[in-house]
């Protein structure tokens, strides 16, 4: 089982058969496999180890799996699941063996408004009259699931659920307290039109974080946390996961840790209005704006990289591009991108007010496509244009950082 929205690839909501026939002529076993996965899904929800292991192949090669099915079943024990299902999307049989691509869909009780979906690759064997799972792995470009990395420990907060692997309960409780402070802070800035709760994943290390995100550890080494979820969600979109890098997060002070979790929680709150039309300077800048909103830090304290550039007479000519926010960027360039986006949002809040800032964010995201989104929102919400806004932003940098 694994991946973010990709899990134990083998199940369907109990009693519901999705995307397959009844095993008739030309089915080649697909219907039988789907029914087996339905039983497997039901076993996960009902915590029935015997039924679950009854879907496992006795000849499964554990070297092909991130963990054995039995271990993953045990690792899931503390995860509060509301649903778990599996839908076959393609099926290829060769004799008594088969490979299936499938969507694993699951919901965490009390937190997900809709199922999280993860791609899985299942290798199957036919023995006697039945099909069994020989291996269940993340699909290409899909990450692991947290429970593939070890036994999950869960801590509930007032507004949060923190799930960790290799973490003590006291450490997870500290994350929960920070998340519980972040949620109302975000609501005070953004409003109450979001779920008002957050799920935080704390893997064992940066390697575990990268595994959850389907990437290499080197790309996340200096990143304290990220938020999963596809842009372009809706009000029914599942709750995103805030994934912490305990290595980088652990070196932050109390203030920095709170800012990071508030920043990431802002992404969860704004997801329904964050689309392909939203530039990263706005989505990241607004998340930082909320993160620092209730602090007394000055612009020069929060934006030291841009402060040094301005002091040297190198005021940026334009707002940061999406490319400037790449995790693989040189650290200074990445920091300046975040600082520039934050200062743009701070300028809007100071000059036009926070209500207009929220309206601007929504207008850009609701545009539907990138071309013209910012320009239209500048005109209709702020009564300005891109050239004037950029000039004002550059002057604001000089004034606040000079």
The distance of Cα 232 from the centroid of its chain, to the nearest Å, equals 13
CB atoms within 10 A of CB 246: 21
List of residues 6+ apart from 334 with CB closer than 8 A:
324, 325, 326, 327
* Strand segments (E) across 166-323: 198-202, 225-227, 241-244
Residue 136 main-chain phi, psi, to 5 deg: -140, 110
343 token code pair:
């200062």
Q: Is 358 buried (19+), middle (13-18) or exposed (0-12) by CB count in 10 A?
A: buried
Strand partners, 84: 106
Q: How many CB atoms lie within 10 A of CB 76?
A: 23
Q: Which domains does the chain have, with CATH numbers?
A: 30-148 (3.10.450.50), 151-268 (3.30.2010.30), 275-402 (no CATH)
Q: Where are the beta strands (DSSP E) in 139-260?
A: 152-156, 160-165, 198-202, 225-227, 241-244
- How far, in Å, CA of 396 to CA of 402, rounded? 9
Q: How many CB atoms lie within 10 A of CB 59?
A: 9
CA 27 from chain center: how many Å?
Answer: 36
* Cβ atoms < 10 Å from Cβ of 29: 17
Instruction: Note the pLDDT tens digit of each residue in 85-143.
Output: 999 999 999 999 999 999 999 999 999 888 888 999 999 999 989 999 999 999 998 88
pLDDT for the residue numbered 252:
96
pLDDT of residue 327: 74
Q: What is the DSSP string of 75-129?
A: HTTTS-EEEEEEEEEEEEEETTEEEEEEEEEEEETTT-SS-EEEEEEEEEEEETT
Paired strand residues for 86: 104
Q: Give the model's pLDDT for residue 9.
A: 34
**Rounded Cα gap, residues 149 and 110, in angstroms:** 23
Strand order in the sheet with 97-108: 81-94, 97-108, 116-127, 130-138
Cα separation, 307 vs 311, in Å, equals: 6
Provide the pairing of β-strand 160-165 with 198-202: parallel
Neighbours of 322 (CB within 10 A): 14
Residue 76 CB contacts under 8 Å (≥ 6 apart), including other chains: 1, 8, 44, 147, 152
**Half-sphere exposure for 135 (CA within 13 Å, toward CB):** 16
Query: In degrees rounded to 5, what are phi and psi of residue 387?
Result: -65, -45
Tens of pLDDT, residue by residue, the chain (402 residues): 444 333 333 322 333 323 333 333 346 799 999 999 999 999 999 999 999 999 999 766 666 666 678 899 999 999 999 999 999 999 999 999 999 999 999 999 999 888 888 999 999 999 989 999 999 999 998 889 999 999 999 999 999 999 999 999 999 999 999 999 999 999 999 999 899 999 999 999 999 999 999 888 888 888 999 998 633 333 344 558 999 999 999 999 999 999 999 999 999 999 999 999 999 999 999 999 999 999 999 999 999 999 999 999 999 999 999 999 987 778 899 999 999 999 999 999 999 999 999 999 999 999 989 999 999 999 999 999 999 999 999 999 999 998
Q: What is the pLDDT of residues 88-103, one digit of tens each?
A: 999 999 999 999 999 9
Confidence (pLDDT) at 63:
64
């Amino acid at each position: 089982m694994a991946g973010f929205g990709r899990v134990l690839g083998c199940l369907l909501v109990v009693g519901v058969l999705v995307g397959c026939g009844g095993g008739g002529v030309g089915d080649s076993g697909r219907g039988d496999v789907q029914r087996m996965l339905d039983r497997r899904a039901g076993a996960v929800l009902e915590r029935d180890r015997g039924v679950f292991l009854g879907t496992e192949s006795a000849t499964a090669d554990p070297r092909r799996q991130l963990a054995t099915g039995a271990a993953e079943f045990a690792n899931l024990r503390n995860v509060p699941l509301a649903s778990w299902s599996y839908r076959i999307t393609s099926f290829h049989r060769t004799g008594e063996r088969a490979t299936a691509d499938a969507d694993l869909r699951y919901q965490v009780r009390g937190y997900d408004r809709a199922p999280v979906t993860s791609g899985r690759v299942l290798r199957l064997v036919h023995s006697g009259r039945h099909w069994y799972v020989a291996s269940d792995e993340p699909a290409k470009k899909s990450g692991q699931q947290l429970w593939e990395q070890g036994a999950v420990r869960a801590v509930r907060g007032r507004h949060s659920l923190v799930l960790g692997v290799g973490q003590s309960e006291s450490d997870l409780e500290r994350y929960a307290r920070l998340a519980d402070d972040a949620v109302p802070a975000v609501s005070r800035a953004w409003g109450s039109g979001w779920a008002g709760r957050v799920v935080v994943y704390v893997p064992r290390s940066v390697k575990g974080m990268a595994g959850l995100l389907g990437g290499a550890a080197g790309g996340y080494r200096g990143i304290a946390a990220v938020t999963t979820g596809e842009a372009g969600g809706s009000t029914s979109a599942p709750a995103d996961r805030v994934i912490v890098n305990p290595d980088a997060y652990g070196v932050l002070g109390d203030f920095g840790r709170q800012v990071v979790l508030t920043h990431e929680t802002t992404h969860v709150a704004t997801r329904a209005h964050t689309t392909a039309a939203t530039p990263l300077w706005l989505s990241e800048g607004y998340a930082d704006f909320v993160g620092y909103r209730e602090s007394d830090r000055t612009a020069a304290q929060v934006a030291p990289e841009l402060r040094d550039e301005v002091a040297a007479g190198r005021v940026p000519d334009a707002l940061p591009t999406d490319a400037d926010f790449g995790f693989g960027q040189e650290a200074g360039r990445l920091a300046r991108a975040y600082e520039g986006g934050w200062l743009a949002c701070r300028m809007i809040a100071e000059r036009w007010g926070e209500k207009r800032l929220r309206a601007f964010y929504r207008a850009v995201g609701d545009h539907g496509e990138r071309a013209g989104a910012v320009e239209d929102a500048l005109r209709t919400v702020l009564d300005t244009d891109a050239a004037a806004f950029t000039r004002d932003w550059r002057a604001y940098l000089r004034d606040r950082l000079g």
